[in-house]
């Protein structure tokens, strides 16, 4: 039987028809906006490698959070730049730490906004690694179990400040279990965990390390973040985090890992986040500035791709622009 040539194109002939039959729909409800918080007052410091992004003092972060919420964005994730760093990242778990103060201020001024906090030490350590460093032969390694204690301590301090969700991101074995146990013991059973379940040692993090002022001072993070070539290992990481009590799973980065997003979506029932990371953002911004790409169409296509692959939640620096474009 022969079919008319236009049998599929009938559903593409107008914007109304295309919208009516659209299979994957991106919503402002899907978006989480990252915020970088630093010491000071009335500070909005540009991040050169991430055009349109800033380091905010706490007062300005609260204003930005209110602006994002007014735009329809339901959640932010906070990263801190402390006034000083040390070998054990003590600013991460200090009761008066930069993120703890920011959480309190944002919760007070924008009470309906969900506040997520990154649980890691890299922004707070003088060496820039995600945990406690110890000598190992002629080199070094990050002490997994010593780091777990500090990650758990960080999560409790952030929960005590008012975080709705904590997000352990150091890629230490057992980090979700350690955080869940200590949160429960401290009476924070209702604080959710968004696990950086499959976080890869990616070249796409470069601009973030400028933004968070957290590049490693020696070595790399390859020994604890994942090899970008490994898909089956990523599934084992996700299985571990689910078993340890994660409430939300995450794949990071997103753009080069949509095969993994699809696989996790097919195999696991928990809500799934992906992180549209700094390098992915910076590439689009740079190409758009040169006139090589239409920024709006490119960003919406990329984020729709994440949704089509199976992501429920998209952490993205494009969040505010996307919220405006989707109106």
Q: Radius of gyration of the chain from Cα atoms?
A: 20
Any catalytic annotation for residue 199? yes
Alpha-carbon separation of residue 244 from 176, 203, 232 (angstroms)? 6, 29, 19
Check 63, 104, 153, 199 and give the catalytic one. Answer: 199
Active site residue 252: yes
Residues 6+ apart with CB under 8 A from 176: 168, 193, 195, 240, 241, 244, 245, 246
Q: Among 227, 94, 242, which residue's Cα sits nearest to residue 176? A: 242
Candidates 101, 252, 285, 307; catalytic one: 252
CB 126 within 8 A of CB 136: no
Q: Which of 142, 273, 279 is nearest to 209 (CA)?
A: 279
Dihedral of alpha carbons 169, 172, 176, 179, sign: negative
279 three-state secondary structure? helix
Gap between the Cα atoms of 54 and 37, Å rounded: 9
The residue with tokens 């791709």 is 305
Q: List active site positions.
A: 199, 252
């Amino acid at each position: 039987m022969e079919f008319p040539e236009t049998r599929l194109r009938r559903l593409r002939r107008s914007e109304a028809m295309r919208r009516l039959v659209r299979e994957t729909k991106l919503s402002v409800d899907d978006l989480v906006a990252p915020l970088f918080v630093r010491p000071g007052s009335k500070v909005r410091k540009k991040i050169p490698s991430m055009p349109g992004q800033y380091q905010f003092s706490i007062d300005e972060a609260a204003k930005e959070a209110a602006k994002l919420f007014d735009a329809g964005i339901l959640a932010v994730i906070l990263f801190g730049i402390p006034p000083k760093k040390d070998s054990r990242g003590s600013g991460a778990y200090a009761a008066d730490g930069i993120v703890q103060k920011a959480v309190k201020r944002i919760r007070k001024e924008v009470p309906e906004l969900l506040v997520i906090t990154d649980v890691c030490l890299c922004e707070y350590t003088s060496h820039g690694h995600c945990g406690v460093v110890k000598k190992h032969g002629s080199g070094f390694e990050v002490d997994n179990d010593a780091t777990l204690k500090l990650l758990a301590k960080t999560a409790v301090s952030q929960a005590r400040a008012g975080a709705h969700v904590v997000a352990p991101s150091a890629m230490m074995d057992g980090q979700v279990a350690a955080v869940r146990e200590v949160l429960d013991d401290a009476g924070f059973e209702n604080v959710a965990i968004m696990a950086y379940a499959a976080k890869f040692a990616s070249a796409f993090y470069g601009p973030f390390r400028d933004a968070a002022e957290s590049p490693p001072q020696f070595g790399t993070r390859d020994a604890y973040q994942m090899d970008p070539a490994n898909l089956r290992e990523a599934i084992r990481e996700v299985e571990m985090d689910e078993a340890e009590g994660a409430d939300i799973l995450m794949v990071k980065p997103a753009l080069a890992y949509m095969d993994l997003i699809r696989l996790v979506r097919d195999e696991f029932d928990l809500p799934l986040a992906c992180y549209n990371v700094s390098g992915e953002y910076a590439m689009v911004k740079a190409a758009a500035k040169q006139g090589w790409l239409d920024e709006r169409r490119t960003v919406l296509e990329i984020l729709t791709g994440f949704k089509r692959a199976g992501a429920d939640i998209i952490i993205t620096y494009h969040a505010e622009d996307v919220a405006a474009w989707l109106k």
